[in-house]
Amino acid sequence: MRCIRQQDMQADIRAAEAQRHLMETEYWQEAGAVALYVGIRDELSTDLLLHAAWQSGRRVWLPRLLPGEPGLMQFALCAGWHELAAGPLGLREPAPNCPAFGPGEASQLGPSLLVLPGLAFDRKGGRLGYGGGYYDRFLASGWLCKRVGLCFHYQVLNEIPLQPWDKRVHCLCTDKGFQCL
């Protein structure tokens, strides 16, 4: 039990370091609106980013799954922890009353910085998610914002297999630093 707690504590420290690296970039500092995610399972936590964004008055957009539409999501404006609720898959996401935009509206309403989770990334910006294709479908609409993959350093591989529809990230941010690709 003690070993598990130490591993969790080390992961929390590394997650905080990765988030600090992102907050030091011009992309973060210049963004008046950011699209983040609420971490689940093995995804790197975004709790510090969420807190910092809300504290600084940035508009925070978070993904929300579309009920009854597998593989589709929208981004909803979320003003704080109090506006999060359990979604269809048990994920914490913006409550149904939070205003949202879909893929077609993203370029007019959306943020200038999108932070994406992933199981793995490669050094060319390839991203391996959980296999639902939610982000790839959303990004297929041509959303033109800076995309940053947020992960632990050990999740960056030399190459991962990609399909033609897979969307790449422009930058990677890990516990070891920030790099544009």
The CATH number linked to 55 is 3.40.50.10420
pLDDT at 131: 80
- Residue 175 included in any domain: no
Token reading at 21: 């690296």
- Residue 166 included in any domain: no
- Average pLDDT of the chain is 89
- Tell me which residue has tokens 């506006």: 83
| pLDDT at residue 22 is higher than 60 | yes
The pLDDT tens digits for 25-58 are: 999 999 999 999 998 877 899 999 999 999 999 9
| pLDDT at residue 1 is higher than 70 | no
**How many CA atoms are closer than 13 Å to the CA of 7, on its beta-carbon side?**
5
Q: Which spans in the chain are helix H? A: 2-23, 26-30, 47-56, 106-109, 134-139
Domain extent, residue 109, equals 7-161
- Residue 106 included in any domain: yes
Token reading at 105: 């509206």
Q: Tally the domains of the chain.
A: 1
- Residue 179 included in any domain: no
For 172, residues 6+ apart whose C-beta sits below 8 A from its C-beta are 121, 123, 125, 148, 149, 151, 156, 178, 179, 181
pTM, full prediction: 0.90
- Residue 178 included in any domain: no
- Residue 79 included in any domain: yes
- Residue 94 included in any domain: yes
pLDDT at 64: 93
pLDDT at 104: 62
135 vs 150: CA distance, rounded Å: 14
- Residue 177 included in any domain: no
